[in-house]
Amino acid sequence: MTDTVDLHRITTGEPGQGPPVVLLHGLGEEASTWADLTARLPGRHTIALDLRGHGASPQPGTYTFDLMVADVLRALAGTSTVDIVVDIVGHSMGGYVASLLAGRHPELVRRLVLEDAPVPPESGPSVPDPNPPARPDTPTRFDWAAVGPVRSAARAPNPQWWVDIRRLPTPTLLVSGGPASHLDPARVAEAAGQMPAATFRTIPVGHDIHTSAPDDFAELVVPFLAV
């Protein structure tokens, strides 16, 4: 896809130390958010990416999940990992990107972790955004133009997403932030129940689980990725 961009990355470990662990952050965040988790994976090669519009990656002004998936695939090709399987951990927006990538390219993904990721409607009208954020008065560390398209796309029906996850063979861990999250835990549990190799867990600390409860998050994720 010609509209893809080169994504900035933060890496740890060396290639060849098992399948690389690719980490995808949420909306408004960046690769550095994964520093605590990667420190707990000393035997693994980790690749934390700044998704388009975030961190040190380009701000092209166009933000769709299809382009984000294509960007990640381009990044993997650039690290010579596209011919082998990877593990992917995705939070929120990054979890949606990860689920789309795994659904379309299950041969590339060995294990998948979705941290409080949005679950799109299967059919019907788009779900209205109940609390659209106001643009801050001060500059942001990411392109604010991404907020509207990303939030709208996450609430739009995506029947193909449901088709793909229902046949996804990849062992998947879905972690919900519980009632304190703005994402309905029941929707996350519903998605897990539709997947052939999924495990659903709750860490009731809200949406940003890996930063709000890093010990609890690592206790689930590190062993899951070690299998």
Domains assigned to the chain: 9-226 (3.40.50.1820)
Which tens digit of pLDDT belongs to each residue from 171-194?
Answer: 999 999 999 999 999 999 999 999
pLDDT > 90? residue 15: no
Report long-range pairs for 195-200 (Cβ below 8 Å, ≥24 apart). Answer: 195/165, 195/166, 195/168, 196/166, 196/167, 196/168, 196/169, 197/168, 197/169, 197/170, 197/171, 197/172, 198/171, 198/172, 198/173, 198/174, 199/171, 199/172, 199/173, 199/174, 199/224, 200/174, 200/176
Residue 202 pLDDT exceeds 80: yes
CA-CA distance, 66 to 189, in Å (whole number)? 24
pLDDT beyond 80 at 82: no
Supply the pLDDT for residue 2. Answer: 65
In sequence order, which residues have a C-beta less than 8 Å from that of residue 215 and are 6 or more positions away? none
Q: What is the mean pLDDT of the chain?
A: 95
Cα 80 to the center of its chain, rounded Å: 21
Tokens of 129: 């955004």
pTM for the full predicted model? 0.96
Q: What is the pLDDT at residue 80?
A: 56
For position 17, what pLDDT does the model report? 78
